[in-house]
Amino acid sequence: MGKGFYKVPVAVNEPVKTYAPGSAERAAVAKTYTQMYNSTIDVPMYINGKDIATQDTATMSPPHDHKHILGTYHRADKKHIQEAIATALEARKMWSQMPWEQRAAIFLRAAELIAGPYRARINAATMLAQSKTVHQAEIDASCELIDFLRFNVQYMTEMYAEQPASTSDVWNRLEYRPLEGFIYAITPFNFTAIAANLPASAAMMGNVVVWKPSDSQIFSAKIVLDVFKEAGVPPGVIQMVMGDPEMITDTVLDSPDFSGLHFTGSTFIFKELWKKIGLNIHNYKTYPRIVGETGGKDFIVAHKSSNPQQVATAITRGAFEFQGQKCSAASRVYVSKSIWAATEKHLKAQMETFTIGSPGDMSNYITAVIHEGIF
């Protein structure tokens, strides 16, 4: 085992590709999109390094072409969730003891895989699964995810470096340990980057994770899982399960070894999860950590000194990109009365240029919402 004070690469933001007409990246993602659209895939669960198929399956379709079948995924019953928990706890014995720099190396490799050979695949999968335009897919599934992985490695080393003061008489040392049990990661449909980051950030710190992606995002979650596997995440460290959310959640939260929740989704669901955890508190071996992000209403405030055309652009991009399906989407605008007339003129002109349709046509600005239930 190596000895040393290791310095990880300084994290920098991944440059966003333009996907301009005629560019190599545009051609690559268009080709991959077509190949994925015209193929069908089978997505089993992933438990202890094995693909787990069941008789209970469901289909995956693009929101913008909901009659077209992209493939099927396999749904768990209770025994599969119990197996995922048990084998994750077994994997924890090794993973929690692995030197931090070896864990860091795995996730830095994942970032490089996405930046390189997986970039077109993860973008095209996000366009198909979530109806994101190529630009929205690029800033989410590629750039933001790459940044999550690289910056999380840097933040991990900064955390470990935070040590209490010592004197010539006393050497104070602080050790950061993984949680005693397993983490439950519940991820949303709207960001492939979040779907990857919630299990990855916990695993990076030496924890093991049972990950339930959104039913509406499984097509692109499969690409995330492929990246984790190729990067070298050991079996049992990140388990991907799909199925009835209530059954999965109840089985997970009934386990005495449940030690943490990593969640992004609706406020109502988060409150329900918190309530269930509270009701089970006497059954747990430790106090579970609860981390949740539930979004809200974003807003724009424009001072009278603002440029009206820039304000209009902020409104159109903030409110209508990805059909407004993100917590950062602009829902309210407060504009100084003195610049409203000019802002409104630019706003109407920009909105008249909107085109709506499939993300496969990269000239479209707006595509489909995720499913009928969103209305």
Q: What's the rounded Cα separation, in Å, for the pair 161 and 148? A: 20
Q: DSSP assignment of 300-318, as one string?
A: EEE-TTS-HHHHHHHHHHH
What's the burial of 93, exposed, middle or buried (CB within 10 Å: 0-12/13-18/19+)? exposed
Give percent helix, percent strand, percent coil of the chain, each to the nearest 5. Answer: 50, 15, 35
> Pairing state of beta strands 182-186 and 71-74?
unpaired
> Pairing state of beta strands 57-60 and 289-293?
unpaired
- 90, 112, 180, 293: which is the annotated catalytic residue? 293
Q: DSSP assignment of 189-252, as one string?
A: SS-HHHHHHHHHHHHHTT--EEEE--GGGHHHHHHHHHHHHHHTPPTTTEEE--S-HHHHHHHH
Query: Residues 76, 248: contact at Cβ < 8 Å?
Result: yes
Contacts of 313 (CB under 8 A, 6+ apart): 346, 350
Beta strands in the chain (DSSP E): 41-43, 45-47, 50-52, 57-60, 71-74, 182-186, 209-212, 238-240, 258-264, 289-293, 298-302, 330-335
Whether 293 is catalytic: yes
- 101, 112, 327, 344: which is the annotated catalytic residue? 327
Torsion of CA 117, 121, 127, 128, to 10 degrees: 180
Sign of the Cα torsion 365, 367, 370, 371 reads: positive
Q: Which residues are catalytic?
A: 293, 327
